[in-house]
Amino acid sequence: MKVKAVARTLAVLLLVLIAAVTPSSGQLAGLTLGAALSKLMDQVNDAITAARNSGDTLEIDAGRQAALAISNAQNAYQDSLNKTFDDHLDPTIRGTVNQLQTVVTGITSGVQTTVAQAELSAQQIVNGLPFRQHEPQLTSFTPNFVVPSTSDYPVVVHLKGNFEFAAQSAFTPELTISGKDYFPVTATTQELVFHIPVSVFRNASSTGYEAQDAEVKVPWQESRLLGLRHSTVMDSYRLYLGILPGKIGKITVTIATTRTDPGPPKTFTSRDFRQCSTSDCGNNDDQNHPYTIPVETGCQVVRNTSRLITRPGTGGVWSDSFSSDDGNQVVYKVTSIHKGACSVFSHCGDSGDVRFAIAFNEVCPTQVTDQTTQVIQLGWGDSQVVTAKAGTWTVAFDSFDGHHYEYTDTENNNKFLTVNGTTNSFSLTAQDAASLVWP
């Protein structure tokens, strides 16, 4: 994954901060453990904010793993939070702080390139923490990302770990988000389940990623003095819940429509003909001789544009008449008359000799395909129907997580978008927010 410029800048700043919180630097004599861990949590918060602004889901998800490890450390070292980084602070604790700083820096600098690496590093630190007897441990939580929606539904926040006292009414955990407190719908020794209205979360209409923090408080009972004295302790965990964009991505619909384009008219001229009543043609009258000229294949006659064109050599007694130009053909009739020698009884003249061609205008229609494009953006659970005949449309889908898909028919396997084609239309349906799990 390409490291964002803002992440690189933040990494440099974090490396500078390392020098300020590393015991060997000699600058921590007055800094308490609690302040050092809070500073690390602030760095995680800054990293998640930068990741949100740059659309980097890796850093959002990895940051939540680091925050979980820091919260566990704050709980495990609760008795030492007010101690300063001097020679009396346990070297193991100082080592844990350095390990946590390494995890945070690895996330923001891109050294840890997968969420799995961040989770493994954080979990290794948690496994080495000196949890007290009966102390709760939060090992993981879901969802990784909340799916926003304008229609309300309960977001199921599921916490896994060890919660020995959670099922007892006097030790009920609570989750606080956006200033509101929520209590678990399920509380066992290994899991806590909260139902949070999606309206509590930001980002219902945003096209970018978001992240929202929450706090989980888990009360428990610590035994001291060989079990003769008990005290109630409150462990607290900082949760960062990623929030997906409010739209599933960009949907580009292309529809092809076919129309007939007549094209510009052009002149068609037949071959040359000769009709004659002269001696070399038999000295016979030839009256109303029809000449039928069809248009070229695939063309149509432009009516009232035909004409008979005479060629050199035409003379004598002859005539022509237009007959028709329907049925995509033009018909003319030509008459030529034989004339004998001049005498008292006959009119003088030359026998008809007609050399001609027939011309007319024609158009040759072609099928032209036009394409129209529209961009559709669907929120989670939204649906839209587009009118288009089967075989004429294409759906290009660029999902919010950076993948590209193209469909020309029904598609039910995409986890974000369902396409359902019919004879004269197709529908686009975004996955319902309440049923999507991502990634």
Both 18 and 93 in one domain: the answer is yes
Q: Work out the mean pLDDT of the chain and round it to a whole number.
A: 86
Q: Where are the beta strands (DSSP E) in 273-352?
A: 273-276, 286-294, 300-301, 307-310, 318-324, 329-336
Predicted local confidence at residue 84, as pLDDT? 85
If one counts the domains in the chain, the total is 4
Both 404 and 419 in one domain: the answer is yes
Ramachandran area for residue 5 (φ above 0: left; ψ -120 to 50: alpha; else beta): alpha
Instruction: Give the pLDDT band (50/70/90) at residue 309.
Output: very high
Both 125 and 138 in one domain: the answer is no
Both 303 and 403 in one domain: the answer is no
CA atoms in the 13 A half-sphere facing the CB of 395: 29
High-pLDDT (> 90) share of the chain, %: 57
Q: Could you say which of 364, 398, 423 is where a domain stops?
A: 364
Instruction: Give the pLDDT band (50/70/90) at residue 74.
Output: very high
Tens digit of pLDDT for each residue in 28-45? 557 789 988 998 898 888
Both 116 and 97 in one domain: the answer is yes
Q: Strands 180-182 and 273-276, how do they pair?
A: unpaired
CA atoms in the 13 A half-sphere facing the CB of 11: 18
Tens digit of pLDDT for each residue in 284-301? 999 999 999 999 999 999
Q: Could you say which of 333, 364, 395 is where a domain stops?
A: 364
Tens digit of pLDDT for each residue in 385-426? 999 999 999 999 999 988 999 999 999 999 999 999 999 999
Residue 145: which of 230, 224, 71, 55 has the closest Cα? 55
> Is the model's pTM score more than 0.75?
no
Both 146 and 179 in one domain: the answer is yes
Both 317 and 384 in one domain: the answer is no
pLDDT reading at 93 higher than 60: yes
Higher pLDDT, 275 or 12: 275
High-pLDDT (> 70) share of the chain, %: 87
Predicted local confidence at residue 45, as pLDDT? 87
Mean pLDDT value across residues 324-344 = 87
Please tell me the distance from the alpha carbon of residue 429 to that of residue 395, in angstroms, as a whole number: 12
Phi and psi, residue 174, nearest 5°: -145, 150
The distance from CA 240 to its chain's CA centroid, rounded to whole angstroms, is 25
Both 177 and 280 in one domain: the answer is no
Both 162 and 271 in one domain: the answer is no
Mean pLDDT value across residues 176-180 = 94
Q: Which two tokens stand for residue 382?
A: 């939204």
Tens digit of pLDDT for each residue in 373-382? 999 999 999 9
pLDDT reading at 4 higher than 70: no
Instruction: Give the pLDDT band (50/70/90) at residue 61.
Output: confident
- Residue 145: strand, helix, or coil: strand
Question: How is residue 298 annotated by DSSP?
Answer: T
Both 380 and 358 in one domain: the answer is no
Both 343 and 394 in one domain: the answer is no
pLDDT reading at 163 higher than 70: yes
Instruction: Give the pLDDT band (50/70/90) at residue 26.
Output: very low
pLDDT reading at 75 higher than 70: yes
Q: Strands 383-387 and 425-430, how do they pair?
A: antiparallel
Predicted local confidence at residue 56, as pLDDT? 80
Least confident of 110-119, 250-259, 272-281, 345-354: 110-119
Q: Could you say which of 130, 165, 182 is where a domain stops?
A: 130
Predicted local confidence at residue 195, as pLDDT? 97
pLDDT reading at 215 higher than 50: yes
Please tell me the distance from the alpha carbon of residue 245 to that of residue 438, in angstroms, as a whole number: 12
Predicted local confidence at residue 184, as pLDDT? 97
Instruction: Give the pLDDT band (50/70/90) at residue 227.
Output: low
Predicted local confidence at residue 13, as pLDDT? 35
Q: Which two tokens stand for residue 81?
A: 């939070």
Both 328 and 289 in one domain: the answer is yes
Q: Which range marks the domain in which residue 124 is found?
A: 1-130
CATH of the domain at 218: 2.60.40.10
